[in-house]
Structure 1
Amino acid sequence: MDLVSFIVALVALLIGAAGQRMIGMGWGLIVTPAVALVAGPLAAVLVVNLYGALACLIILPRLWADIDWRRLAWLTVPAVALMLPGMLLAKGLETDLLRIAVGIIAIVGVVVAVAFTAGERSLDGPALRIGAGATIGALNASVGMGAPAVGVYTLLSGWQDRTFVATMQPFWVIVSGVTVAVRPFVAPEGSPDWPLWAWLVLCVPVVAGVVVGDRFAHHVNPTVVRWTIIVLSVLGGAALIVTGTLAMLG
C-alpha cells in the first residue's frame, strides 16, 4: 500500500467530514480530488461514496428534526434514477476527459448562479429540483462529484438554512449507498489496493471530522455558508479540471 496516498486520504476524510457537518456539503469537493490525485479517478468514486455514506449516517440522528422531507424526495428520486446512466457514461467515455468537462460546467454554473442571485432573487420549484437531483446523481455516480451541482442549486433556490444541512445527510446516505451497492455490477474495476485494516482505520478521521464539525456548526452564519458554498464549488470544479488534465498528461 502506498503510504502517501493513505495519509492524503486520511486528511481529506477528516476535513471533508467536518465540512459536511458544518454546512451540509464539502465532502465530495475535498475528498474526490485528493483521492483521485493519489489513487486514481475510479478509486475516488468508490472512496467518496463509501465513507460519505458513513459520515452522513453518523450526522443524521442529530439533525433528524430539521429534515425537509418533501424537498428530499424531489431531489432523491431523480438522483437515483440517473445513477446507472451516469455509471455507464463514465465507463463508456474517457473518465479524465469527463472530469475536465464536468469541472468547466461546474465553474460556469456557479458563476451563472451567483450572477442570477446578485439581486437577491431565487428560483425554486419542481423543474429545478428534478433537474438538480438528476444532475447530482449522474455526476456523483460517474465522477464522484455531485457537490458542485448541489452548490448551484442552493444558490439558485436560496436554500441555505439549517434544513439544507439536515436534508443533505439522508440525501447523501441514499445516493452514496445506492452508488456503492450498484457499482460492483456496472464498473467493478478501480478499487484502491488497500488492506482491510486500512479501510477500517479510515473510519477514524470520518468520525473525528464529524465531531469537530459538530462543535463549530452553530457558529457559522448564513453569509459565511453562502460564500463557503461558492468557493468550494469553484475549487471543486477547478480540482476536477486539474486532476483530469494531469491524468491525461501522465
Structure 2
Amino acid sequence: MDWSFVVALVALAVGAIAQRTVGMGFGLVVTPTMVLAVGPLEAVLVVNVFGVVACAMIIGRVWRDIDWRGLAWLVVPAIALTIPGILLARAADADVLKIAVGVLALVGVAVSAGFTRSERSFDGPGLRVPTGALVGVLNSSVGLGAPVIGMFAILSRWEHRVFAATMQPFWILLSLSTVVSRQLVAPGGAPPWQWWMWLLAVAPILVGVVAGDRIAARIDQAVARRAVIVFSLLSGIAVLVTGIVGLATA
C-alpha cells in the first residue's frame, strides 16, 4: 500500500478527533498532509468531502446543542461568498493571498484572545454575517476558514458545547457548497484513488469521532476555549508558511 495513503488515513483520524472535541481543526490537520499526499488541488476536494463525512458522523451526537438561528446568520453568507472566493483565488497570486490571510489571521486571533480577559462579549447579526462571509471566501480560496471562526468564538464567548455542536452543520453545508462550486467553476482535482481507498478512508474518521467523544466528555470550558485559540493560531501559521514556501519555490 502507498505510504502516503497510510499517512493520509492517520491525518483523517486525528482531524476527526479535533473536529469532535473542539468543533474545528479537521481542515488544519488534514489539509497539509493531503497536499503532500495527493497534491494541492486534489487536497481541496478530499478535505471537503471527508470533512462532510466527519461532521455527518458527529452531528447526531450533538444535535440537541445546535444553535440553528446562530448557524443561519453564519452559513448563509458563507455559502453566498463561496464562488467569489474561488474566483479570487484564480485571479490573485495564490501564495501572496495566503501570506496576507495568514498575517491577518494571526493578528486577529491575538487581538481576539486579548478579549478573553474582559467580561465584555461581542455577538449578533452585525458580527455573524461578515464572519460567515469571510469564512466562505477564505475556505474556497485558500482552504482555511477556521481562524475567522475561532476569532468569532472568542469574541462572542460562545459556550463551547453549543459552538462545537453548531460547527458540524456549518462545515457540512459549507463543504458541500465548496465541492459543488469548484466543480462548476474549476472542475477536476480528484486524486487517483481506487474506489476501495475512498471507502477505507471512512474507517479512521469513525475511529477519530469515537475517540473524540470520550475526550469531549472530559474537557472543560476553559481548556476548550484555549484549544480554539491554539487551533486558530495554528491555522493562521499553516496558511502563512504555505504561502511563504510557495513563493520561495516559485
Query: How do residues 170-249 of structure 1 correspond to structure 2 at under 5 angstroms?
Result: 170-249=169-248
Q: Which amino acid aligns with 2:100?
A: A
Measure, in 1, the Cα distance between the counterparts of 2:41 and 2:223.
33
Measure, in 2, the Cα distance between the counterparts of 1:160 and 1:34.
31
Does the 8 A contact of 1:52 with 1:173 survive in 2?
yes
Q: Which amino acid aligns with 1:124?
A: D
In the alignment, which residue of structure 2 is the partner of 1:16? 15
**1:121 aligns to 2:128 (yes or no):** no
Does the 8 A contact of 2:85 with 2:140 survive in 1?
yes
TM-score with structure 1 setting the length: 0.94
Does the 8 A contact of 2:160 with 2:225 survive in 1?
no
TM-superposed deviation, 1:89: 0.9
In the alignment, which residue of structure 2 is the partner of 1:92? 91
Distance 1:37 1:94, change over 3 A: farther
**1:47 aligns to 2:46 (yes or no):** yes
Q: Which amino acid aligns with 1:14?
A: A
Q: Which shifted more, 182-191 or 47-56? A: 182-191
Measure, in 2, the Cα distance between the counterparts of 1:90 and 1:194.
26
TM-score with structure 2 setting the length: 0.94
Q: Which shifted more, 105-114 or 180-189? A: 180-189
Query: How do residues 59-98 of structure 1 correspond to structure 2 at under 5 angstroms?
Result: 59-98=58-97
Q: Which amino acid aligns with 1:6?
A: F
Measure, in 2, the Cα distance between the counterparts of 1:37 and 1:118.
39
- Identity among equivalent positions (%) equals 53
Any unmatched runs of 5+ in structure 1?
Answer: none
Does the 8 A contact of 1:124 with 1:157 survive in 2?
yes
TM-superposed deviation, 1:122: 1.1
Write out per-residue CA displacement over residues 19-65 of structure 1, whole angstroms, 9 at most, x where no aligned residue: 11112111112112222244333222212111001111111111111
Alignment partner of 2:193: what SS? coil
Alignment partner of 1:219: what SS? coil
Q: Which amino acid aligns with 2:99?
A: I
Measure, in 2, the Cα distance between the counterparts of 1:100 and 1:85.
19
State the aligned residue count: 249
Measure, in 1, the Cα distance between the counterparts of 2:202 and 2:241.
27
Does the 8 A contact of 1:33 with 1:236 survive in 2?
no
TM-superposed deviation, 1:242: 1.6
TM-superposed deviation, 1:15: 0.7
TM-superposed deviation, 1:135: 0.9
Q: Which amino acid aligns with 1:169?
A: Q
In the alignment, which residue of structure 2 is the partner of 1:156? 155
Q: Which amino acid aligns with 2:243?
A: G
Distance 1:97 1:41, change over 3 A: farther
Q: What RMSD, in angstroms, separates the aligned Cα atoms of the two structures?
A: 1.6
In the alignment, which residue of structure 2 is the partner of 1:142? 141
Measure, in 1, the Cα distance between the counterparts of 2:191 and 2:100.
24
